[in-house]
Amino acid sequence: MSGHLAVIGLGPGDARYLTPEANAALKHAEVLYGYARYLERTPLREGQARHASDNREEGARAVAALREAALGARVGIVSGGDPGVFAMAAAVCEEIERGPERFRALDVTIVPGVTAMLAVAARIGAPLGHDFCALSLSDNLKRRDVIERRLDAAAGAGFVIALYNPVSQSRPWQLGAAFDRLRRHLPASTPVVFGRAVGRADETVTVTTIDCAGSAHADMATLVIVGSRETRLVERPGRAPLVYTPRSVVEVSA
């Protein structure tokens, strides 16, 4: 008997982002694993077991889910946003690679979802309308000089930058350091978007410029988008401005 593991993307917060495929995967799971806050979002089903764990225990959660699936169960792991973007899908692949042979025999499905940067971008216009990159500022798993080199490369070459995990309690200073780094490459007026808890009842989206952006604008629930030299702001009377990056590049950025 072979079990099944689904890694399920819930999208950002609200049920209106949950795809029919993700909804079906949640229904079919006999057991669900996940960060407690994500499990709270999924409707309870009779007879479905749930194992909540801390946000930082991704590897241990993946192993527990893989073991239960290898015993023949239909197991689901829930993930906020898209499971393939700084989330559970990579943790599951890591444990399959380093785990016992029976993990490789498992039927594994990854169910994509709307990742945070897409939801934040949709709220404000189209800041990701041209070439962009997604970069995690967490230095738990990556040396700080790698982060700095990637910020330099991305901003220098004209990519818009979506920053995931911009701050944490242990590194409140890090986002400010990233903005300092980016100011070397970008004009002072470059738009910066802070999307907090997007898709939830308490969502806020604010726009500022790179010369005014600081770490006080963000917390752990924030996704930051830093524009490129091409990114534009369109004022609208009586409405929030639009921020967008045109489809065509008119100049070669310096």
- Which residues ranging from 45 to 104 are in contact with its own copies (CB under 8 A)? 58, 82-87, 89-94, 96-97, 104
Q: Rounded to the nearest whole angstrom, what is the least distance from the CB of residue 44 to its own copies in the complex? A: 19
- Rounded to 10 deg, the angle between the 88-98 and 58-70 helix axes is 60
Taken in order 61, 67, 71, 76, is the CA torsion positive or negative?
positive
Query: Which of 23, 50 has the CB closer to its own copies?
Result: 23
Assign residue 72 a region (left: φ > 0; alpha: ψ between -120 and 50; beta: otherwise). left
Looking at 41-49, 63-71, 133-141, 205-213, which segment touches its own copies (CB under 8 A)?
133-141
Query: Under the criterion CB under 8 A, does residue 159 sit at the interface with its own copies?
Result: yes
Q: Rounded to the nearest whole angstrom, what is the least distance from the CB of residue 123 to its own copies in the complex? A: 8
From CA 126, how far away is CA 244, in angstroms rounded?
4
Q: Which of 186, 194, 253 is nearest to 225 (CA)?
A: 194
| Residue whose pair of structure tokens reads 């920053």 in the numeric block | 163
Q: Rounded to the nearest whole angstrom, what is the least distance from the CB of residue 163 to its own copies in the complex? A: 10
Strand order in the sheet with 232-236: 125-126, 239-244, 232-236
Query: Under the criterion CB under 8 A, does residue 11 sit at the interface with its own copies?
Result: yes
User: Segment 170-229, which members bind its own copies (CB under 8 A)?
Assistant: none
75: amino acid identity, one letter = V
Q: Rounded to the nearest whole angstrom, what is the least distance from the CB of residue 127 to its own copies in the complex? A: 8
Q: Rounded to the nearest whole angstrom, what is the least distance from the CB of residue 252 to its own copies in the complex? A: 6
Torsion angle, CA of 32/34/39/43, rounded to 10 degrees? -20
Query: Under the criterion CB under 8 A, does residue 167 sit at the interface with its own copies?
Result: no
Query: Under the criterion CB under 8 A, does residue 123 sit at the interface with its own copies?
Result: yes
Query: Which of 101, 202 has the CB closer to its own copies?
Result: 101
Cα Rg of the chain (Å, integer): 20
Selected from 13, 113, 195, 227, the binder of its own copies by CB under 8 A is 113
Number of residues in contact with its own copies, rule: CB under 8 A? 82
User: Segment 232-251, which members bind its own copies (CB under 8 A)?
Assistant: 232, 234-239, 242, 244-249
DSSP state of 43: P
